[in-house]
Structure 1
Amino acid sequence: MIDQQTVDVLRGISTATLTTVLFKKGLRNVWLRGAQPIRPGQPRTVGAAFTLRFVPAREDLATPESWSSPRSTRAAIEAMPSGCIAVVDAMGVTDAGIFGDILCARMAKRGVAGLVTDGVVRDVDGVLSTGLAVWGKGTAAPASVAGLTFVNWQEPVACGGVAVFPNDIIVADSDGAVVIPQAMLMEIIELAAEQERLETWIMSQVNEGASLPGLYPPNEENRLRYEKSKTQQ
């Protein structure tokens, strides 16, 4: 899992900054396509990935009776630890809602930090009322079994075209959701925090009327000015 201090630091770093830093480290495919906030103004949310996976519906398996199976979304929710972010591989299907208000309410009650999916949810008014932060492609009235079969949890998934492994770190905000490989977390945090500080300084210079060439990115002169500004804080 991820400790609270790390969560607090990442809550201060935008997904835009994270994608830039990850790009500089050679990782281009980290932004989960289709995972957009379903509620405007959702706060930036951070947590370890708890993965769930759907496959195309098969009529003998995708039935209402499957909801009572030991291998079901219901059972997966009961295994979710507090503070995690549920990352659901729904293969981009948009005509069957993976979760509705009751499942989201249970996730919220268990302390799950958020839900990120390349699919859609249903019962959207109820989902919004639970307070659970959700990122996805939108909404659909039909249940998941109308188009999907749930197969497992806590295994590698492909969500929005991105490989997500259990316990990778997810950061989601108004720009969408980004995955940070668990093994790279501390290095990325250090680089991203410095990038945020630099860009805050650059913005202050822009607000004072400075032109962009040589400032963004900073040349040697502006880099020295930036380093000097840090010692004066």
Structure 2
Amino acid sequence: MSKLSDTTRSKLKAISTATVATALYKRGFRIQCIQDVHPLSPDQPTMVGGAFTLRYMPAREDLNKLEVFRDRSHPQRKAIEDCPPGAVLVMDSRKDARAASAGAILVTRLMKRGVAGVVTDGGFRDSAEIARLGFPAYHHRPSAPTNLTLHHAIEINVPIGCGDAPVFPGDVILGDADGVIVIPAHLADEIAEETFEMTAFEDFVAEEVHSGRGIFGLYPATDPQTLTDFAAWRKRNGR
């Protein structure tokens, strides 16, 4: 897994998924947003970390009995213990929330190990308990049945699809109130720098709009006066 620098992590924590989506779109990336996943709590912190992946396939009844959890190499259990501190566990549950991808005990273990967050395109059981942890967690919807009824954990830290987005190990995952986006690892530093600047400009624009200024020439900044005003705003606000 590629190393996410502290500088890039810090910048991305101050940036929205919407702003990152625009920067990726400018580079031709259109499907980096993980579809139909939602934060379990509206108050959970912004999630930033490198992707560590778990892939599920459809379960086969003779291979998916409760006894499989006695095996320490079981991919779901191993993913919980192997996901590095600061990383995000991303689970490909085939967009199927009829059975849980994990529950509160496993998510709590991730939190206690220093993992940065968890995402599934399926569902979590114990969702209210997970929501109270204050830990970044995203899923499609709550789901009570054990994952064993429908999902067979097959392998960890391989390329996956999650909510129609391609996720490669080490890609940078950003999650906020709007959802989750995947930043290709080789672009993370570049995207963080660009979107940090974009965020400063958008904060300036928001203040101008709140004060009654119209958007023509302001957003986008086609009027030269806009850039002059922005420079003065940055100096005034230390941005």
Whether the 8 Å contact between 1:66 and 1:72 is mirrored in structure 2 is no
Superposition map of 1:1-233 within 5 A? 1-69=3-71, 70-226=73-229, 228-229=231-232, 232-233=235-236
Distance 1:163 1:53 in 2: 12
Report the TM-score, using the length of structure 1 for normalisation: 0.94
> Unaligned regions of 5+ residues in structure 1, if any?
none
Deviation of 1:134 after TM superposition, in Å, equals 0.7
User: Identity over the aligned pairs, expressed in percent?
Assistant: 36
> Unaligned regions of 5+ residues in structure 2, if any?
none
Whether the 8 Å contact between 1:48 and 1:83 is mirrored in structure 2 is yes
- Three-state SS of the structure 1 residue aligned to 2:61 is coil
Equivalences, count: 233
- Three-state SS of the structure 2 residue aligned to 1:49 is strand
Whether the 8 Å contact between 1:108 and 1:131 is mirrored in structure 2 is no
Question: Bigger CA drift: 75-84 or 217-226?
Answer: 217-226
* AA partner of residue 18 (structure 2): A
* AA partner of residue 166 (structure 1): P
User: Deviations along 1:16-50, whole A, 9 cap, x unmatched?
Assistant: 10001111111111110122101112111100111
Deviation of 1:129 after TM superposition, in Å, equals 4.1
* AA partner of residue 104 (structure 1): V
Whether the 8 Å contact between 1:104 and 1:130 is mirrored in structure 2 is no
Question: Bigger CA drift: 11-20 or 101-110?
Answer: 101-110
Report the TM-score, using the length of structure 2 for normalisation: 0.92
Distance 2:167 2:198 in 1: 24
* AA partner of residue 76 (structure 1): A
